Amino acid sequence: MQPVIEIRNAVKRYGEGDAAIYALAGVNLNINPGEYVAIMGPSGSGKSTLMNMMGALDSMTSGEYLLDGIEIGKLNEDALSIVRGIKIGFIFQSFNLIPRTTAIANVELPLAYQGIKSKERRERALKALEIVGLSDRIGHEPTELSGGQQQRVAVARALVTRPSLLLADEPTGALDSKSTQDLLNLFDQINQAGRTVVVITHEDEVAKRAKRVVRMRDGKIISDEINRGSAA
């Protein structure tokens, strides 16, 4: 089985010599198709840097990163943009929805960038919104939706491209407790349907839903364990 993510001796260094700061200090990590992984660590642990690298949003100083067998470090910016659009579905704490734009138009947007024709865009967006339970909100703009509903629109937008990897960065940070549970239940369902899910979080409540928990400190992985008590 080819991993979705292969990270080999990843180093991210800022500065040189004695003044050098290592955000990543030799990270090795494989994530296989269908896994549900939480990456945890305190501020400054390197988890956000690792997330940016996995999302092909930042490059490493040295090491290798393969996404679905594609060596990311060898791609130019245009090729990186295509890979991000096809292979990765992003979910952010701040939702990043376009204001004064309907839910379905927000979800269709990544497909428009890919040149998908309008009929197929609409069909795939409707299906994605159905998956997240928002079929009755397709014409609502972000200001007409609760925080939890906005995040579910963001999840639908991430799913609509049928990515290899769903990458969520502190996805519950702006949600109340009920919306958090609703979102985590949705992640469980998405993973059970076969999607690879990676969540960056500092919250134990979020991490305990994952099947595997990777903990970081000082730019290194300090533990990588199967979560026997996973609710997923």
53-110 tens-digit pLDDT: 999 999 999 999 999 999 999 999 999 999 999 999 999 888 899 999 999 999 999 9
Q: Please report the pLDDT score of residue 67 as a whole number.
A: 96
Close Cβ partners of 62 (under 8 Å, ≥ 6 residues apart): 9, 10, 11
Compute CA 1 distance to the chain's CA centroid, rounded to the nearest angstrom: 21
Helix (H) or strand (E) holding 26: strand 21-31
Tokens of 179: 């919306």
* Residue 155 DSSP code: H
Q: Categorise residue 99: left if φ over 0, alpha if ψ from -120 to 50, beta otherwise.
A: beta
Q: Please report the pLDDT score of residue 231 as a whole number.
A: 55
Tokens of 24: 């990543």
- List C-alpha distances in Å: 123 to 90, 95, 105, 140, 193: 21, 22, 12, 17, 20
Q: Which residues pair with 5 in a beta bridge?
A: 31, 67
**Quick check: 91 and 166 in contact, CB under 8 A?**
yes
- List C-alpha distances in Å: 51 to 36, 58, 122, 206: 15, 9, 30, 16
Q: Distance between CA atoms of 163 and 87, rounded to whole angstroms?
A: 4
pLDDT less than 70: residues of the chain:
229-232
Tokens of 6: 């292969």
Give just the sign of the alpha carbon dihedral 183, 187, 188, 193. Answer: positive
Q: Please report the pLDDT score of residue 131 as a whole number.
A: 93
Q: Residue 187 — φ and ψ, nearest 5°?
A: -60, -40
- Looking up tokens 């704490």 gives 93
Q: Please report the pLDDT score of residue 210 as a whole number.
A: 96
Helix (H) or strand (E) holding 120: helix 118-131
